[in-house]
Structure 1
Amino acid sequence: MADSKREVERKYEATPETRLPDLTRAAGVSAVVHRGLTELDAVYYDTEDFRLAAGSLTLRRRTGGDDAGWHLKIPVSAGIRDEIQAPLTDDLPPDLTGLLRSRVRNTAVSPVVRILSARDIHHLLDEDGVLLAELSIDEVLAERLTEEGHGTTSAWTEMEVELADDGDPAVLDAVERRLLKAGVLPSAAPSKLARALAETDPEKPRQTKKRASPHDAGGHVLAYVHRQITAVIELDPAVRRDLPDSVHRMRVATRRLRSAFRTYRKILDRAVTDPLRDELKWLAAELGVDRDQEVLDERLRSRVAGLPDILVLGPVSARLQLSRVAGSTGARRRVVSALDGDRYLALLESLDALLADPPLRPDAARNPGDVLPRAVLKDYERLATRIGHALEQPPGHDRDLAMHEARKAAKRVRYAGEAARPALGKPAKKFAKKMKAVQSVLGDHQDSVVARDALRTLASQAHGAGESAFTWGLLYGQEEAAAADRERELPEVWARASEPGLRAALKG
């Protein structure tokens, strides 16, 4: 079973003659304890076209030290990576294979670089002897591995300072100030592998160069599409690891893609994008099972927590827990199964193909200030029609359905405004913000509709088990009142969002 930890470190240039300054003068550091020398032997793996390196991921099999095994490092932000560790085996463990799937697809990974490190380790301790950070000076020898065997080599010395688990990042700042004052400079390479690849063969990895941002409408839409596709691929490992909010963020990326394909169909050919929209809708539905259950659970638990104890009759929390476990367990298996399936891989390949050979229509070559506002405002008109229809309905089932349809339209027009923002600037930003406010009101209303359905089911189950259904009825009444509040709020929010000046600003 793979284990995960958050790695927070900083790298510095060094030479064999580099000497550590007195780091006990760094704030918080009371002692520097030499822990000796260890030998590390790591073989790094990647695809033939270096897909992992292109995404700043590293996969290695390492012996030596106290953490021998397979290590997959996934970037989080500058200087911060998640390191997933698996036991030392001859073959790549299945737990890591799944985390690589969105990157490598069906392409095999093989050894690309071997790195030998002689690591001189020092522990930085506080006044109570608690570990704050580990500093190491590494003498590194890197060797490119080829199909023919051994390749070119490179050698260097570097310094790493890695924060202890649950440590305060301020320690790294304090240590860095002492190192910089002593003339030790930050490393230009983000990792040993990146430096090894650059120094042993400057022609590799052959990473795809970023597309220059063109000034036409097609370039702006493609840049937005590219960001969403990248988000889907990068969030895949996080969803598999069940990290907080990962399913929601991946689902949003699929929705933004679908929205862009539909809104900007005068820029991207529907013959290509419509089948992709269908597949993205399928993926969003698979992800939605887990996410919708999570949102519902959070809402109901919050409602119960807000009740006085005297109004909570029967095993309310226990029944909620049973409902959550029953719903989330099946949903979790379904999501992972979808990500492991051939249909998902085919979708990723199709999205890559779209970026490689964009199906541009004539309007793509036009000025974005002319093309994008028309597309956004067309979505706005659809939303206005649905809002008007919803407000005409009497309270009840028909209004609930109408407001749900309006919610979907509001989400689409908001995404359209966000996609146009790099080209249209502040007017698009303000427009999207107003649409988000409308979406929020409609979204909370729909969440109340879903919650009331769930509460009816829970009340029925409680009654059938001989429990009091009083609390469930009380919560139902609260949700009914919340929905009524949103219905009263909508006209005012929509009035602010539908000001003529807001739309006129989009047109310049």
Structure 2
Amino acid sequence: MAAIRQGHVYLEVLVAIEIEDKFDVQDEFVVPDLLGVKGISSASGPKSHQLVAIYFDTPDLRLAARGITLRRRRGGDDSGWHLKLPKAAGVRQEIQLPLTRSAKIVPAALADQVLVYTRGHALVPVAELDTKRSVTRLLDGDGEVLAEVADDRVKGTVFSQSPDVKPKVERWREVEVELVKGDEALLKRVGKRIIKAGAVTGGSANKLGRLLGEAVQKLPQSPAEGTVGAAVFAYLRSQTDALIAQDGRVRRAEEDAVHKARVACRRMRSAFKSFSSIVTETDALQEELKWFGEVLGEVRDLEVIQLRFGKELDGLDEHLIVGPVRARLLDDLKHQEEEGYERAREAMNGERYFALLDALDQPLSFTGKATREADEELAKIVAKEWRRVQKKHETAQAIDDAHEREIAMHDVRKAAKRARYTAEAAGFGHEAARAEAVQEALGLYQDGVVAQETLEKEAAKAREAGEDTFTYGVLAGLERAAADRARAKFPKLWAKLT
């Protein structure tokens, strides 16, 4: 079970992971005897069901384009609202809610889960599947259900969004094998037996995809395999998918979700800058990624600082903790974090965020260099980014003023982070590790500086409230010492790396 948010209420819902295989069969196909398959001792059934499912999507089928299904189904053992999200090859995440009175309005809790795909567009009924299902359960020697074999005869109807166009109707038959307590090796053995009987591996990931066919819009296609353009495209696509995957988790304030979404934004911005000789016309997209990264940054910074202060307070002797320090540093910051989440959700429900996601789905503009061989071109770009780090460091060290030099060293850290992301995108592990070492070392110093600034602000609030601020000074001293140690160690690390 899990909780998803509806307004200010969290609903308990069933979240399941489906592992299944589908097979296309002719009308005269006979499901083979599966008792001879290794691990299966007996079978129960078949048991018949009449399933009627209405599918919801945007008029331009944005969910179907991503392999997502949202339906209201009656009949069988799992009547209710079902949302199936892609997880991995052959594995899908399913969220289930009970049936509601309305058959035409998607529950808000589910509509929120697909906002990252619908992006402000209405959810409407787009199709109906009327299925006569015959289910056989496959059991082991202890009577445990290992898998279910569903023999489906389907009537599919595509609703027209225009009153002048008649609905499209199609009929077919398919067999589906879904694991219950069995493993994937069993799934493979059962599938092999079914194919031997005359079935073929299903051509569509789901019934709705088969029914809608060419009406589903295609996502941008990659350049030719082996080219630097293909490598950059694959990386940017993976980061877009990573951002989208965290959308629902951020809305639910799940652990580490904001961090992962923010990193995806940073990686894309970095890639657009580093690979500007491969991909062009991305300035506006970079600005929007920066904006959303800052939206997430407010929450992430508060998450990190709470963990940091909590650990430091736990490590202090009790006589050094004077006044309601924990309440102010942890509870007060937690309240600020919750307010930050509300602002993040507000932004994620807005047109600017939806426009950003739409822009990420658009085809990229590649230069002539995109057709070059990947390894050689990527190596050049990775080397160039490391030289940029070195140049930033030389510039910083040439500054006499200590404060100005610290600001310049922060630029070195940002350059190192970009070099790291570039090397990771290109698959250059050694170069990525080198840049990460610089980033992390300088980050320790920067984190200490930020922590001191936060302590100064919180101490001022405590002072105004008449509270003792002794402990804030203790913590600030610890942070100052940690920052100084990090700064002192860096020259040795730099010499080792360069």
Class of the TM-score when normalised by the shorter of the 2 chains: 0.7 to 0.9
Structure 1 counterpart of 2:327: 318
Asked whether the equivalents of residues 266 and 363 of structure 1 are also in contact (C-alpha less than 8 Å), the reply is yes
1:334-483 equivalences under 5 Å are 334-355=343-364, 358=365, 360-368=366-374, 371-390=377-396, 397-421=403-427, 428-483=428-483
Change (3 A) 1:123 1:329: farther
Query: 1:261 aligned to 2:272?
Result: yes
**Counterpart-to-counterpart distance in 1, 2:369 and 2:273:** 15
**Counterpart-to-counterpart distance in 1, 2:140 and 2:398:** 68
Structure 1 residue 350 displacement after superposition: 2.7
Asked whether the equivalents of residues 67 and 209 of structure 2 are also in contact (C-alpha less than 8 Å), the reply is no
Change (3 A) 1:207 1:352: closer
Query: 1:307 aligned to 2:316?
Result: yes
Q: Report the TM-score when normalising by structure 2.
A: 0.80
Change (3 A) 1:96 1:25: closer
Question: Partner amino acid for 2:269?
Answer: R
**Counterpart-to-counterpart distance in 1, 2:182 and 2:468:** 56
**Counterpart-to-counterpart distance in 1, 2:43 and 2:192:** 16
Structure 2 residue aligned with 1:154, among 172, 177, 180? 172
Structure 1 counterpart of 2:83: 72
Structure 2 counterpart of 1:142: 154
Structure 2 counterpart of 1:197: 209
Structure 2 counterpart of 1:251: 262
Question: Partner amino acid for 2:67?
Answer: S
Asked whether the equivalents of residues 138 and 145 of structure 2 are also in contact (C-alpha less than 8 Å), the reply is yes
**Counterpart-to-counterpart distance in 2, 1:17 and 1:268:** 51
Structure 1 residue 436 displacement after superposition: 0.9
Structure 1 residue 59 displacement after superposition: 0.9
> Cα deviations across residues 441-497 of structure 1 (Å, max 9, x unaligned)?
122222221111112223333344344333322222221121122112222332333
Unaligned runs of 5+ in 2: 1-5, 24-28, 161-165
Structure 2 counterpart of 1:424: none
> Cα deviations across residues 70-90 of structure 1 (Å, max 9, x unaligned)?
221223334544333345233
Change (3 A) 1:450 1:155: same
Structure 1 residue 288 displacement after superposition: 1.1
**Counterpart-to-counterpart distance in 2, 1:316 and 1:124:** 59
Asked whether the equivalents of residues 379 and 413 of structure 1 are also in contact (C-alpha less than 8 Å), the reply is yes
Change (3 A) 1:372 1:175: closer
**Counterpart-to-counterpart distance in 1, 2:373 and 2:472:** 56
Structure 1 counterpart of 2:16: 7
Asked whether the equivalents of residues 113 and 145 of structure 1 are also in contact (C-alpha less than 8 Å), the reply is yes
**Counterpart-to-counterpart distance in 2, 1:382 and 1:153:** 61
RMSD of aligned residue pairs (Cα, Å): 3.9
**Counterpart-to-counterpart distance in 2, 1:339 and 1:62:** 29
* Overall identity of the aligned pairs, in %: 33
Asked whether the equivalents of residues 418 and 429 of structure 1 are also in contact (C-alpha less than 8 Å), the reply is yes
Change (3 A) 1:23 1:448: farther
Q: Report the TM-score when normalising by structure 1.
A: 0.78
Query: 1:95 aligned to 2:109?
Result: yes
Change (3 A) 1:174 1:51: closer
Asked whether the equivalents of residues 121 and 136 of structure 1 are also in contact (C-alpha less than 8 Å), the reply is yes
Asked whether the equivalents of residues 4 and 83 of structure 1 are also in contact (C-alpha less than 8 Å), the reply is no
Asked whether the equivalents of residues 43 and 136 of structure 2 are also in contact (C-alpha less than 8 Å), the reply is no
Structure 2 residue aligned with 1:235, among 246, 249, 259? 246
Greater displacement, 94-103 / 178-187: 178-187
SS in 2 for 1:172: coil
Unaligned runs of 5+ in 1: 163-170, 422-427, 499-508
Change (3 A) 1:182 1:362: closer
Structure 1 residue 280 displacement after superposition: 1.4
Asked whether the equivalents of residues 251 and 288 of structure 1 are also in contact (C-alpha less than 8 Å), the reply is yes
**Counterpart-to-counterpart distance in 2, 1:18 and 1:324:** 62
SS in 2 for 1:293: helix
Change (3 A) 1:403 1:117: farther
Asked whether the equivalents of residues 22 and 202 of structure 2 are also in contact (C-alpha less than 8 Å), the reply is no
Change (3 A) 1:184 1:469: farther
| Structure with greater proportional helix content | 1
Change (3 A) 1:371 1:149: closer
**Counterpart-to-counterpart distance in 2, 1:266 and 1:17:** 56
